[in-house]
Amino acid sequence: MLAGASVIYGPGMLESGMTYDPAQVVADNEFVAMTRFVRDGIDVNDATTAIDEIMRVGPAGNFLELESTLIGARKLSAPRLIHRNVREAWEAEGSPDFYLEARKEAKRILAEHEVEPLPDDVTAEIRAIVAEADTKYAGRPSATKAGA
Amino acid sequence: MKRGTKVAPRSSGVSLHMFTEADLDDLHEGTVTVLDRTGVLVESDEALDIFADGGCRVNRETHIVQIPPEVLQGALASARSSFLLAGRDPKDDVLVESGRVLVTTFAEGLLVNDLETGENRPSTKADVGTHCHIVDALDQLDLNLVSVMARDVPTETAALHNLEAALPRTTKPFNMSMVSSHEAELCMDMAAAVVGGRDALRERPICFFGSCPVAPMNLCVTLTDALIPSVRAGMPFLAISMGMAGGSTPITLAGTLIVQNAELLATYVLTQLVNRGNAFVYGNSTCTMDLRWGASAVGTPETALYQAGTAALARYYGLPSWTAGY
């Protein structure tokens, strides 16, 4: 990421490339977001140095009640599956396991995420190309269709 | 159209520059010497003809191709630093660029941890579709990939089955592995059926192919057979070098980068001799062999350095890069 590779591939991979894990790719998606956050670095300008606020709040004050805190909080990293709260809160939610939560999310995506289907004639044309190739190159008609 | 995450040198942001210009020049000059004096092995006669016609020294008996510096320079003069990959839905279009970062999933797994049972089992055609569907929904992943090999279909037509499974399950552009010319041609026909013909596919490639040389410095027939029809059709092409330091490449990191560079530049020269200006992605999945076990070790500091080195070299040549990571 920091070296500027145009495309990085790998999320979902386990065991040096032997196994693909569909829950792992959901988990890795969170890590990618965090590395992109790091890549963005620290902006140093008049707005971000916040000198006025630091002087106004002063020693022993607090920044929690400032409007800028509310606005800025939306720009912080915010993983959805990684649990950042204290142990008691985590236990109160049933001690959710990161991997199992990622698996749950993968299943939710499969159930709820809609992908625009291919038109029927295109699906048929694709099927015909595969079936003909199976007969020609593999010596047998194919039995398996898409997503079977 | 989506562009990748910016990297410095720019006004802000964190970046890594591990080589000086002099370092990069040394790696380049070393590679020029290897390509000119030692050459690469090219298995396919068709590819040998193309190298010979392009001004390279070709030994028909040994299948060694030596690439003179001027041929390499000529090819590098037409390097394309960016190209469009089209989504089936234009909202998913991405620009692959030298100097910006996109992220995609993993490819070419052989086993799957089953989503329902957790069982580790051989991968199937259905898994290809399932994984494309999940990645389609993940906001950080800009491209899709054929994640695993469908092991329940004929090997002679596996790429077609992968594509048939992937196409309906994602609107993001995707890459897939390719090892034969008949599969490359037919997969382009299948993708053309989606976008409305081969010309439309060249304009808006919804998928593109990748293949690997065999280290050290063998442009194997599976690589060139996938490459030639793909590049002739004007499709971007990804070559992934897969050295294993201490086995198929030198034990030193710099030496490994030079072997990898020789493989990738020789492959790149072939793309330019087939179709000058064709988009090419400079890829690696190079790792170190842990000599204690004889195992290829991927998640290591060496791999991180190879990835950063690959990105640096690709930018030196003005080519987009592709590396393993995460």
Confidence class for position B140, pLDDT limits 50, 70, 90: very high
Question: A137 in contact with B at a CB cutoff of 8 Å?
Answer: yes
Candidate from B109, B163, B320 with C-beta closest to A19:
B109
Radius of gyration of the CA atoms of chain B, in A: 19
Q: How far is A30 from chain B (nearest CA, A)?
A: 8
User: Mean pLDDT over residues B115-135, rounded?
Assistant: 97
Q: How confident is the prediction for chain B on average, in pLDDT? A: 94
Residue in B closest to A21 by C-alpha: B113
Cβ-defined contact of A43 to B126 (cutoff 8 Å): no
Residue in B closest to A42 by C-alpha: B13
B17-100+173-285+303-323 CATH: 3.20.20.480
Q: Which residues of B touch A127 (CB under 8 A)?
A: 164
β partners of residue A9: B324
Q: Which amino acid is at B291?
A: L
Q: What is residue A148's predicted lDDT score, i.e. its pLDDT?
A: 43
Domain boundaries, chain B: 17-100+173-285+303-323
Question: B140 in contact with A at a CB cutoff of 8 Å?
Answer: yes
ipTM over 0.90: no
- Rounded to two decimals, the pTM is 0.92
User: pLDDT of chain A along its 148 residues, tens only?
Assistant: 888 899 999 999 998 889 999 999 999 999 999 999 988 888 888 888 999 999 999 999 999 999 999 998 888 888 999 988 899 999 999 999 999 999 999 999 999 999 999 999 999 999 999 999 999 999 877 655 544 4
Question: B68 in contact with A at a CB cutoff of 8 Å?
Answer: no
Residue in B closest to A15 by C-alpha: B298
Question: A95 in contact with B at a CB cutoff of 8 Å?
Answer: no
Q: Kindly report the backbone phi and psi dihedral angles of residue B316, in degrees, each rounded to the nearest multiple of 5, phi listed first.
A: -60, -35
Per-residue pLDDT of B66-117, as tens digits, reads 999 999 999 999 999 999 999 999 999 999 999 889 999 999 899 999 999 9
Residue in A closest to B283 by C-alpha: A7
Domain boundaries, chain A: 13-44+77-115, 119-148
Q: Which residues of A touch B189 (CB under 8 A)?
A: 129
> Chain A neighbours among B 242-301 (CB < 8 Å)?
281, 285, 287, 295-299
Q: What is residue A143's predicted lDDT score, i.e. its pLDDT?
A: 57
Per-residue pLDDT of B283-311, as tens digits, reads 999 888 777 877 777 778 899 999 999 99
Q: How far is B53 from chain A (nearest CA, A)?
A: 31
Candidate from B100, B168, B326 with C-beta closest to A31:
B326
Candidate from B14, B139, B153 with C-beta closest to A41:
B14
Candidate from B18, B111, B152 with C-beta closest to A144:
B152
Cβ-defined contact of B320 to A6 (cutoff 8 Å): yes
Confidence class for position B32, pLDDT limits 50, 70, 90: very high
Full 3-state SS string of chain B: CEECEECCCCCCCCCCCCCCHHHHHHHHHHHHHHHHHHCEEECCHHHHHHHHHCCCEEECCCCEEECCHHHHHHHHCCCCCEEEECCCCHHHCEEEECCEEEECCCCCECEEECCCCCCEEECCHHHHHHHHHHHHHCCCCCCEECCECCCCCCHHHHHHHHHHHHHHHCCCCEEEECCCHHHHHHHHHHHHHHHCCHHHHHHCCCEEEEECCECCCEECHHHHHHHHHHHHCCCCEEEEECCEECCCECCCHHHHHHHHHHHHHHHHHHHHHHCCCCCEEEEECCEEEECCCCEEECCCHHHHHHHHHHHHHHHHHCCCEEEECC
Q: Which residues of B touch A146 (CB under 8 A)?
A: 125, 129, 164-165, 167-168
Per-residue pLDDT of B5-19, as tens digits, reads 877 555 567 888 889
Q: What is residue B16's predicted lDDT score, i.e. its pLDDT?
A: 87
List CB contacts of A135: < 8 A, sequence separation 6 or more: A141
Q: What is residue A142's predicted lDDT score, i.e. its pLDDT?
A: 62
Percent pLDDT > 90 in chain B is 85
